[in-house]
A and B are shown apart, each in its own frame.
Chain A
Amino acid sequence: MVSAGLSVEIGALRLPFPTLMGSGCYGTGAEFAPFADLSRVGAVVLKSLTRKPRLGNAMPRLVHTPAGMLNAIGLQNPGIDWYLEHEMVALAEAPCAMIGSVAGFAVDEYEEVCAKLAARPEIAAIELNISCPNVASEGETFACDPRLTAAVVRAARRVTRKPLIVKLSPNVTGIATIAQHAEAEGADALAVVNTVRGMAIDVDRWQPRLGNVAGGLSGPAIRPIAVLAVYEVARAVRVPIIGQGGIVSTADALEFFLAGASAIGIGTANFFDPRVPERIVAELSAYLAQRGLHDLHEIVGRANVGFASAEQYEGDAG
């Protein structure tokens, strides 16, 4: 199988394809195995695990919106200990790399779950889902504060040498600063971005549509937000970026590579066509051949022309 030029390194982890299936979107991969060739997928990022079991949010948890969807699942998961005891075994035979995802509501929760998960040989790397409220600071979201982000990454870095991916939130004003804090504490890669906060209201019943009221918007609707976030982060850090947010086609993927991503995350697209990741890999190969390129890395960040000057920038904003 020709895949030359598509491999990517995340810390010490080398993936044959630059495609990561987004956490919470792809189960353990097994759910999608009847419809997709997992040996043509770079890695599956598993559903986030927490210290204690979580039943998750009340229904409804999903709302379809124009060019996207809102979700508020509420981190439903059986907790790290149960997971390791009962569900880990299924991962041993996986045809692609399995990346664990850790969520938490306190710094020491991240540390504990990360340590336990990283100790397992089936887990190739760890992604930190830091878009959670910190109970110790009045529910402030870890990912929205550079110091809290740094604290979580530092704690996780203490307990594992496995590649550490930090998933950044777009719901911030200065994503580059937060990215730099994660990098400074030892993140091996940054996933840019998580979902955009949003809400939908049922105008017949005069009620929020989601059981949790607020949710995370994903799908093509958020792609321009994500592309800009990658562009900004790529100018601020040296670690590889996994660009994600509404990627459906190869053209979408190329936007992220050109903005500065070394790999891409695919989430919502799998919901309406599980063949999307495979198709993008095949078409990226064709794209490289067509352009006479040998490696995808040759195009990473190539659209980066900086930003317009301050005067122009303000003018454009109007």
Chain B
Amino acid sequence: MAIPPGGAAAAVALGIYDADARDVHLLFVVAGKRTRDLAGLREGETVALAGPLGNGFDLGGVPRDVAIVAGGVGIASVFLAAVALVRVGASVHLYYGARTAAMLVEHERFARAGCEVSLATEDGSAGERGYVTALLERARAPELILACGPTPMLRATAAIAQRMRVPAQLSLEETFACGVGGCWGCVVPIAQSSAQAPHFPPAENGVVHARICREGPVFLAQELRW
């Protein structure tokens, strides 16, 4: 969560795009007042940050063949995972989609980092015309799928992963308020049997609400009941 200067009424929830021992990089689209304020910061100005919050992709088990699906600014949340996977010898294929070519950013970095990259745009201005999930649909089943982007893209990715019988980790987007698990404003229905399900009395249909900011934002697709 980044707190823009100038007394905005809410913080901005951002994924960590890149990080090393010295720097943290945030990548975001200017969409409203809060992101405009953040983008207006000059070198030397300070910004309040709380984080990192929540979980991240689980890269344990050293998967060798990974598909990453990113939609729009969701690309910001998958770079560190892509780099970490390439570093341990995994073959990583990035499927990246956006509305137009102008919204496809930073994918050259993924290519330079050793990922194979396939692009899609809704208007056909770059890569294949259509949704990015169409690319995944035609691909050979990977060992693991990671995804971050708009909810419809994540739902489609979950359906494809189920057909392919491949585990998928989805980083969910939602409107956040507190960002630290205090307000229960950003929940998703999840199987109560999931290790990520919060402590709750046994629910009738076995489904409870998990906090995207706290138990997530990354969930296993097959455990979501959304």
Contact = CB atoms under 8 A, between A and B. Distances in A.
Interface of A: 24-27, 31-32, 34-35, 47, 53, 55-56, 59-64, 66-69, 71, 73, 76, 78-79, 82, 86-87, 219-221, 248, 268, 270-275
A64 B182 contact: no
Contacts of A32: 178, 180, 182
Given A55-B207, A271-B179, 18 more contacts: A25-B177, A27-B180, A35-B50, A35-B180, A53-B200, A56-B184, A60-B174, A61-B185, A61-B187, A62-B185, A63-B175, A73-B184, A76-B209, A78-B199, A78-B200, A82-B201, A272-B3, A272-B8
A273 B8 CA distance: 10
B182 A61 contact: no
Contacts, number: 101
30 contacts: A24-B183, A25-B182, A25-B183, A27-B180, A35-B180, A53-B203, A55-B208, A55-B209, A56-B184, A59-B188, A60-B174, A62-B175, A62-B185, A63-B175, A66-B9, A67-B9, A73-B183, A73-B185, A78-B201, A79-B201, A82-B201, A248-B7, A268-B9, A270-B178, A271-B11, A271-B183, A272-B9, A272-B10, A272-B11, A274-B50
A56 B135 CA distance: 37
B181 interface: yes
A255 B10 CA distance: 22
Contacts of A55: 203, 207-209
Interface string B149-186: 00000000000000000000000001111111111111
B48 interface: yes
Interface string B182-198: 11111110000000000
Contact of A64 (B175, B186, B188): B175
Interface of B: 3, 7-11, 48, 50, 174-188, 199-201, 203, 207-209, 214
A82 B8 CA distance: 38
The prevalent SS among residues of A at the interface is loop
A172 B148 CA distance: 44
A48 to B, nearest CB: 11
B203 A62 contact: no
B9 A27 contact: no
Nearest to B204: A55
Which has the most chain A C-beta neighbours within 10 Å: B174, B177, B203?
B177
Nearest to A74: B184
